[in-house]
């Protein structure tokens, strides 16, 4: 098979998830890349934010100081791990002192309680794994989805992956939040069949409050992309967070932005779930949205009805909230 690049670029891959059904058409393999240019307070993938492999700790796998205790000694950094007297002898991590631990040192943990999220992979390594599911793609109309993090942050790697997938006859999709320079879109989007993209919050100030930066460039990027790549299918998405963006104004603002473009084929609402919390514990990070709840079925149904109406569809969800 022809290789797309004699010097395969590498990227930090967080995970390759097989048999996904929510990241584009059919049964798909989703490649999660590390690195994100937003800091959404509800993020359910905190391990995907930092662009490099990073330390994580799963106390459930730790066998404790008495049986092991390797990480309390060099070459682990001074003060990086410790034990609290009294309760049990499980290791605790001082994240301020442990963050710079290298992968080789972390690999000394015999149980994998200390481990690294993410690993450097070449394009061919990723594609070889993705291609294993080829028969499922053919049967279901599925393919490969690049997700993140923000896959557009490493445009050369992402473009090479997508182009390589096409060469192997695999349908491609990406998930993006769009907060990158336009030139990154230009590199990657020619190789994507479907673009699942987030329209998180409409108001720029509110977007900055909840996601870290305003959405002026993001909106401009997407509207330019709709016009520049008319043969690419776009699906807009909003992760619906009560009190943040579960209002009609936001939904109608997104609809006003996407409806002029026939290649934006749908607008989906993803009800917020508190999936990422335990991973914040693994990474020693503070989850900022402890008190947010999932949207009610009634709210979801009402907002979906607005979208259905805009797309000229019936609204079964409005009649049957359950």
Partner 1 sequence: MSSPTKRIAINFGGGYVPGLNALITGTVMAASEIGWEVVGIRDGFDGLLFPDRYPDGGLLRLDRAMVEHLTGASGSVLGTAARSDPFHVRTVDQDGMLQEEDRSDALLESIRSHGIDALISVVGPAPLSILWKLSRKGLKTVAVPKSVENDMAATALSFGFDSALAFATETIGRVSEAAQSVHAIGIIEVPGERTGWLALQSGTAVCADAILIPEIHYDLHKVAAKLREKAKAGRAHALVVVAEGAAPLATQAAPTGLTVDPLRASLSPGSSGDAGAHVIERSGHVAERVALELQRLTNHETYPLVLGHLVRGGPPTAADRQLGLAYGAAAVRALHDSQSGVMVSFQPPDLKFIPLAETINKVRTVPANSVFVQVARALGISLGD
Is residue 52 within the footprint of partner 1 (CB under 8 A)? no
Which of these, 262, 218, 261, 293, lies nearest to 42 by C-alpha position?
293
Helices (H) and strands (E) in the chain, counts: 13, 12
| Tokens linked to 319 | 């009649």
Among 45, 105, 232, 317, binds partner 1 (CB under 8 A): 45
Q: Are the C-beta atoms of residues 113 and 91 closer than 8 Å to each other? A: yes
Q: Are the C-beta atoms of residues 64 and 209 closer than 8 Å to each other? A: no
Q: Which residue is listed with tokens 């000394």?
A: 108
Which part of the chain contacts partner 1 (CB under 8 A), choosing from 58-66, 161-169, 189-197, 298-306?
58-66
The end-to-end CA distance of the chain, in Å, is 49
Minimum separation from the CB atom of position 237 to partner 1 (A): 11
The pattern of x and - marking residues 238 through 267 that bind partner 1 according to CB under 8 A reads ------------------------------
Q: 292 — phi, psi (to 5°)?
A: -80, 145
Minimum separation from the CB atom of position 163 to partner 1 (A): 23
Among 114, 153, 201, 236, binds partner 1 (CB under 8 A): 153
Which part of the chain contacts partner 1 (CB under 8 A), choosing from 16-24, 162-170, 249-257, 304-312?
16-24
Among 9, 20, 119, 140, binds partner 1 (CB under 8 A): 20
Among 87, 135, 319, 320, binds partner 1 (CB under 8 A): 87
Distance in angstroms (rounded) separating the CA atoms of residues 244 and 250: 10
Is residue 290 within the footprint of partner 1 (CB under 8 A)? yes
Cβ nearer to partner 1, comparing 82 with 261: 82
Q: Which residues touch 311 (CB under 8 Å, ≥6 apart)?
A: 266, 267
Is residue 179 within the footprint of partner 1 (CB under 8 A)? yes
Is residue 217 within the footprint of partner 1 (CB under 8 A)? yes
Sign of CA dihedral 12, 212, 179, 252: positive
Q: Which residues touch 194 (CB under 8 Å, ≥6 apart)?
A: 24, 25, 171, 172, 173, 174, 232, 233, 234, 235
Peptide bond just before 72 cis, omega within 30 deg: no
Binding site for partner 1 (CB under 8 A): 14-15, 17, 19-23, 30, 32, 36-39, 44-45, 47-48, 50, 56, 58-61, 79, 82, 84-87, 92, 94, 96-97, 117, 147, 153, 179-181, 212-213, 217, 270, 273-279, 281-282, 286-287, 290-291
């Amino acid at each position: 098979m022809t290789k797309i690049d004699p010097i395969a670029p590498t990227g930090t891959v967080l995970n390759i998830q097989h048999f996904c059904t929510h990241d584009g058409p059919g049964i798909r393999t989703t490649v999660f890349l590390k690195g994100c240019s937003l800091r959404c307070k509800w993020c359910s993938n905190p391990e995907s934010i930092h662009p490099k492999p990073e330390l994580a700790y799963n106390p459930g796998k730790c066998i404790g100081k008495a049986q092991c205790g390797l990480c309390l000694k060099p070459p682990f950094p001074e003060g990086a791990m410790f034990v609290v007297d009294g309760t049990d002898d499980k290791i605790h991590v001082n994240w301020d002192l442990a963050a710079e631990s290298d992968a080789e040192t972390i690999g000394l943990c015999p149980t994998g309680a200390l481990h690294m999220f993410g690993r450097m992979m070449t394009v061919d390594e990723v594609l070889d794994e993705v291609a294993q599911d080829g028969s499922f793609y053919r049967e279901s109309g599925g393919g490969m989805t690049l997700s993140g993090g923000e896959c557009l942050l490493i445009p050369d790697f992402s473009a090479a992956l997508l182009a390589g997938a096409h060469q192997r006859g695999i349908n491609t999709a990406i998930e993006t939040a769009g907060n990158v320079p336009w030139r990154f879109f230009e590199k990657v989007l020619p190789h994507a069949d479907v673009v699942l993209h987030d329209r998180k919050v409409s108001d720029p100030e509110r977007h900055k409050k909840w996601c870290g930066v305003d959405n002026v460039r993001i909106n401009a990027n997407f509207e330019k992309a709709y016009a520049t790549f008319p043969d690419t299918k776009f699906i807009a998405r909003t992760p619906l967070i009560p009190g943040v963006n579960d209002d009609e104004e936001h939904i109608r603002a997104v609809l006003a932005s996407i409806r002029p473009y026939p290649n934006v084929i749908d607008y989906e609402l993803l009800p917020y779930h508190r999936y990422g919390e335990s991973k914040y514990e693994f990474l020693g990070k503070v989850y900022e949205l402890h008190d947010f709840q999932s949207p009610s079925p009634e709210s979801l149904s009402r907002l979906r009805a607005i979208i259905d109406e805009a797309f000229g569809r019936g609204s079964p969800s409005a009649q049957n909230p359950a």
